[in-house]
Amino acid sequence: MRAILILNPFAGTSVMAETHQSEESNEEAILRGLRSYGIEPEVQYTTPEDAGKGLATKAADEGAELIIAAGGDGTIHAVASGLIERKSTLGIIPMGTMNNLAHSLGIPLPIEAACAIIAKGETRAIDVGKINDQVFIEVAGIGLEAALFPAAEAIKSPGVISTVHGVLNGLLTLLNFKPTKLKISFDDNTHHTYEAIQVTICNAPYYGAHFQVAPDIIMDDGELDVIIYRQFSKLAYIQHAISISQGRRVFQPKIRRRRVKSLSISSNHPVEIQADGLPHGHTPARVIVTSAALHVRVPTINTPGLHEGPELPGAQESSLLAGSQNKQ
């Protein structure tokens, strides 16, 4: 079995990371963990020019069966986007600040435990979403959240000036943002108009700052969960976001939720769009789900974001292959 490790060399070194180590110790720990199961990967590193998608696509085209992404959500999303509707399987070693996809799939944070899932877990096929021409693994959003993303990125950037600039821009965006009428078509057959401050389209239970707008989201049901914040004031929306980030769930009758395979959204004036935390233009938007588009290694039990079900063909073979290599 040919395995490729795509490593973000700077992941896990930030004091904000959930697992904090030096660059050298991270790589050493990953290789030690994989080798203990007989997996000897070729190591490739992300760069500012290629966050992982190009490396993953090339590796898949060259026949690599297992492609392991080691880094934060940005790295894992980039690698995953290069493997959509391909035969290669994604392994995940979470080393970021939020690690949302790992949390959604029940993948543990310690490097040794994540390596064990890659070697001894099962392969499952999960859905991915697409908004216009941009793929998303976790969530796409239209409205206030997307408008605030540039300010949030500035706040996260190093340096006091960047942080202050981000805070000021965020406050200005918040003050100037106005809810708009959104015309939404669900599965091409039902049409509704909402005055909404935000529409969140979820493929995974976790996104952003560990938000769980709908904890029961399933990533292999062939549908997307659409959360519509209708007739919310900006203050009410912020209060709701803080509440769910802290795990509190107060009944909110102004929220509308639908499960769909596709939707189209138009608006009276252009509204910002984000996909997995990256700005992606403005409305109108066409959103679709691609079922079972990404193969990924997950735990055999306690996988919160998936239906209970059998492994895909070849999953057991991969596990046995790793075990046999370990015995040689």
Interval 118-147: pLDDT, tens:
999 999 999 999 999 999 999 999 999 899
CATH number assigned to the domain comprising residue 254:
2.60.200.40
Q: What is the dihedral of CA 134, 137, 143, 146, to 10 degrees?
A: -80
CATH number assigned to the domain comprising residue 96:
3.40.50.10330
Average pLDDT, the chain: 87
What does the chain come to in residues?
Answer: 328
Burial letters 162-174, b for 16+ CB under 10 A, else e: eeeebeebbeebb
Which pair of tokens denotes residue 22?
């030096």
| 68, 4 contact by CB (below 8 A) | yes
| SS3 (DSSP) at 49 | coil
Whether 156 maps to a domain, the answer reads: yes
Q: Which stretch of DSSP H or E encloses residue 122?
A: strand 122-131
Indicate the pTM of the whole model: 0.86
What is the average pLDDT across 50-54? 97
What is the average pLDDT across 206-214? 80
Amino acid residing at 128: V
Whether 30 maps to a domain, the answer reads: yes
| 75, 46 contact by CB (below 8 A) | yes
Residue 190 has pLDDT above 50, yes or no: yes
Give the per-residue pLDDT at 119: 97
Confidence band for 170, pLDDT divided at 50, 70 and 90: confident
Residues 207 and 281 in one domain: yes
Whether 175 maps to a domain, the answer reads: yes
Confidence band for 23, pLDDT divided at 50, 70 and 90: low
Residues 169 and 210 in one domain: yes
For the chain, what is the domain count?
A: 2
Range(s) of the domain holding residue 111 = 3-121+299-327
Residues 219 and 106 in one domain: no
Whether 37 maps to a domain, the answer reads: yes
Residue 226 has pLDDT above 80, yes or no: yes
Whether 129 maps to a domain, the answer reads: no
What is the average pLDDT across 68-97? 96
